[in-house]
Amino acid sequence: MALASFATKAVSGLGLRCGLPALASRAYATVVDGLKYAKDHEWVKVEGDVATVGITDHAQSELGDVVYAEMPEVGASFSAGDRMAIVESVKAASDIISPVSGEIVAANEELSSDSSKINTDPYGEGWMVKVKLSNPEELKELMSAKEYEEFCA
Amino acid sequence: MQPAPGTVVRLLRLAGFPILRQLQLEEALLRATQHNWFVMNDGTPQPAIVLGVSGKPHQLVHLEAAAAHGVALIRRFTGGGTVVVDRDTLFTSLIMQHQSLPGVEPYPRPVMRYTEELYGTVFGPHGPFRLRENDYCFGDVKFGGNAQAITKDRWLHHTSLLWDFQEPRMALLKQPDRQPDYRQDRDHLEFVVRLKDRLPCRATLADQLCGGLEAAGFRLQESSLAEAEEALVANKLCGTRQLDWAQVLAEERQRQQQEQQQQEQHLSAATAGASQV
C-alpha cells in the first residue's frame, strides 16, 4: 500500500529511475536521480554544506509500516556510521545510521506525530534530519542512483 | 537457511537473573561484539512490567495499581509491546551477525520467518505452533511475546515465554490500542496460555532450545557471564532503563491536568459560541 501511494506521488516529477507503472510491484524499489545513497539504505541530498537525510524506498519497504520514529536533537553531532535515529516497525527497533559526519541543524518533528510519512513519502515528507557537513569528502564514498540500484538488485 | 558448517553461537545460560540487567547485557552483546549469541534466562527474581522502545506507560499500564503492587517498570531497547515478567517467565535471546545467516536479511519480517522455523522445531511437537501476526501461539492463544532490534548487519530477536503467570499481575496491563487482529479484543487472560499447560517439563525446555539451534546447523559454545559482561564496558549506547515510579506518576498527573484544562477550554469556547448565536 505504501509503495503504491509513493509511486503515485512520484509520477508528479521527482525524476524517478523506475520503468514500472504507478502501481508498482513491491519487488522493485524506487530510486531518485540526483541523490547520493549509502549501503545502509539512507539517501542524502546536498545543498551547499547541508545534507538532508532519509531512508530509501527499499528500506521503508523492507522495514514495514513504521509506527514510531525517534530523531536526534538539534545540535547533536555524529560521525558517519554512528546510530543517528531509531524507527520501530513490526516489533523491531531499527537503527538509522548516519551516512555523513556533522551537526544536526534540523530534525523532522512531523515524524513524531506521523511516522507513516517515512513509508508513504520516503524521499519527500519522510525526510529525517538536516546535517551541516563536517567532512564533505565523505560524499565521495556514497553511491549514485544507478550504483544504488545495482547494489539493491 | 543453514549457516556455514562450524558457525559458532556463544551460549549463555542464566537462571534467576534480573531482567533489567539481562536486557542491558543483551543490548551490549548486540552493539559491542561481533559474535553470535544465544542467551537463556530461567526467570527474573522480581516481577516487572517491560515496555517496548515506544511504549507510553499511561496507555499500556494501570499505573497506580502497578505502582501499588511494587512492580518495577522498565523500558527496553527493542520494539514491540508490553509484558509482565516474573520468576515463571523464560527468556531467550538470539543475537546474530547477518554474515552468519546470509539468507536472512536483517529486517524484521525475514528475521521472524527464520525464528518461527527455528522455534517450530521446539514447540511444534506440543501443539499447533505458529507465528501469528508476530506472536508465538498455539492456535489462537499466545504463549510468548517477541521483539527485535536491528543495527547495521546485526540483529537481535528475544522472547518472553510464559511458563506460568499470576493473573492479578497480568491484569495490570491495559488493552493496547495497537493489537493483532487475531486477538479480537480479548483481554489478556483469554488471549494468553501458560506453557506449563502444554509442555511436560520446564527443566528440559532449555536443552530443547539448544537442540533446536544445533539442528539448525550451529555449533554451540558455552560462555560465562563474566565473558559476556565484557561487552558492557565497550557499549556506549543503552536504551534500557528502569523508570522511576514517582516521576511516571507525576508526569501522568500533569498530563491528566493538561487534558482536563484543554477539555474545559473547548467547552468554554463552545458555550461562548452558542451564546453568541
- Cα–Cα nearest to B49, from B79, B20, B13: B20
The helix or strand, by DSSP H or E, that contains position B96, with its residue range, turns out to be strand B89-97
Give tens-digit pLDDT for B96-114: 999 999 999 999 999 999 9
Which pLDDT score, from 0 to 100, does residue A15 have? 42
* DSSP-derived secondary structure letter, B217: T
Which residues of chain A does B52 touch, with a Cβ-Cβ cutoff of 8 Å?
88, 91, 93
* Phi (first) and psi of residue A98, to 5 degrees: -70, 125
Q: Residues near B269 by Cβ (< 8 Å), separated by ≥ 6? A: none
Q: Is A90 left (phi over 0), alpha (psi -120 to 50) or beta?
A: left
At residue B75, does pLDDT exceed 80?
yes
At residue A3, does pLDDT exceed 70?
no
**Chain-chain contact of B54 with A40 (C-beta, under 8 angstroms):** no
**Chain-chain contact of B148 with A68 (C-beta, under 8 angstroms):** no
Model ipTM value: 0.92
Average pLDDT estimate for B35-44: 98
A72 neighbors A65 (Cβ within 8 angstroms): no
- What is d(CA B104, CA B120) in angstroms, rounded to the nearest whole number? 17
A147 neighbors A66 (Cβ within 8 angstroms): no
Sign of CA dihedral B178, B182, A27, A14: negative
Average pLDDT estimate for B76-101: 97
**Chain-chain contact of A91 with B52 (C-beta, under 8 angstroms):** yes
At residue A19, does pLDDT exceed 80?
no
The helix or strand, by DSSP H or E, that contains position B106, with its residue range, turns out to be none
The residue among B76, B109, B146, B157 with the most chain A CBs within 10 A of its CB, best to mutate, is: B109
Which pLDDT score, from 0 to 100, does residue B1 have? 78
- What is d(CA B250, CA B236) in angstroms, rounded to the nearest whole number? 30
Give tens-digit pLDDT for B183-222: 777 777 788 899 999 999 999 999 999 999 999 999 999 9
pLDDT category at B277 given cuts 50, 70, 90 is low
Any bridge partners for residue B135, and if so which?
Answer: B132
Average pLDDT estimate for A79-83: 96
Average pLDDT estimate for B10-16: 98
Which residues of chain B does A68 touch, with a Cβ-Cβ cutoff of 8 Å?
53-54, 79
**Chain-chain contact of B52 with A95 (C-beta, under 8 angstroms):** no
Cell of B253: 498527573
Average pLDDT estimate for B227-241: 95
Lowest mean pLDDT across A107-111, B98-102, B182-186, B231-235 = B182-186
At residue A33, does pLDDT exceed 90?
yes
Cell of A118: 517515512
At residue A4, does pLDDT exceed 50?
no
Average pLDDT estimate for B24-30: 98
* Mean pLDDT for chain A overall: 86
B273 by DSSP, 3-state: which?
A: helix
Lowest mean pLDDT across A109-123, B66-80, B260-274 = B260-274
Distance from CA of B187 to the nearest CA of A (A): 20
* Mean pLDDT for chain B overall: 93
